[in-house]
Amino acid sequence: MSWTERDIPDLTGRTAVVTGANGGLGLQTALALAGAGAHVVMASRDPEKSAAAEVRLRASHPSASVEVVPLDLGDLSSVAAAARSVLARHERVDLLVNNAGVMAMPQRTTADGFEMQFGVNHLGHWALTAHLLPALLRAPAARVVTVTSTARHRARRLDPADVHLERGYGAWSAYARSKMANLHFGLGLQQRFAAAGTRAASLVAHPGLTNTDLQARAVREGGAGWVGAFFEVMTARSGMSPFEGVRPHLRAATDPRARGGELYAPRYGSHGPAVPRPILRRRGLQEQIDVLWQVSERETGIPLDVAIAGTSP
């Protein structure tokens, strides 16, 4: 039988941090985890949407344990503040779902001068994960789930000399590159967890074609062109609901049989039950992971060292 949210084990006593939890797949993730008993930290940028999302979650699960933490992934100072808030309240973090993201934006930069899609989708999550590493490693068997997309298959390799696409920007190519970074980050983090001998695990998920506000927002922002308009119509007509599309996130985060380094996605690419899928494009994969690590540390100034984080008090 297909895996569903009904297969999530009891999460009582566990703390889960979900980015972008004020809507779409992030909210569905928060709803499911809270329903299974986890304390959910909803980390989101828009205060009004976050408040409305919290109301919806509490209405669905009146006994839920939940808190809202402001998080703007496009501002490293906001990321650091969010992490400090989580660490001040929680000795350990059992689940981190790096879900939030933007798609096909017009050319813009973050507060720190990063190309917006790479900055929000990858570098912001890099920084958050690095800040939360001590709490993740204090959990008995933490999981970090990073969300990618099939758009990664159209990505060019990351160029360390032009990280922020100053030599040529394309909204969709920048999105694809950020989603490839998400995959490489998830795999690289698992390598480092394993090398340090921890029980923590890093997995990757992609939701397939799911009807959320992501497509509509891309069109509203004006960078997606006719491709964005096409996908908005197609997703509205044939996309899975967020309730269905979030299952790869949830299975990667909670299935006791899931293992670090796995990718969970719909069985048929864009649709279908959540299943483990093979990692493709392995040629040069290790080199690309290593380049991503070097670039991410250089740009953010934040190292992500599992061995050192494991010794933090």
CA distance 246 to 272: 11
Residue 226, number of CB atoms within 10 A of its CB? 8
The residue from 169, 175, 264, 268 that is catalytic is 175
Closest CA to 119 of 44, 46, 168, 181: 181
Could you give the angle at the alpha carbon of 170 between the alpha carbons of 168 and 175, nearest 5°? 125
Bridge partners of 66, per DSSP, are 40
Give just the sign of the alpha carbon dihedral 228, 75, 43, 290: positive
- How far is it, in rounded angstroms, from Cα 178 to Cα 101? 9
Backbone torsions φ then ψ of 41, nearest 5 degrees: -100, 110
Tell me, yes or no, if 175 is annotated catalytic: yes
Residues noted as catalytic: 175
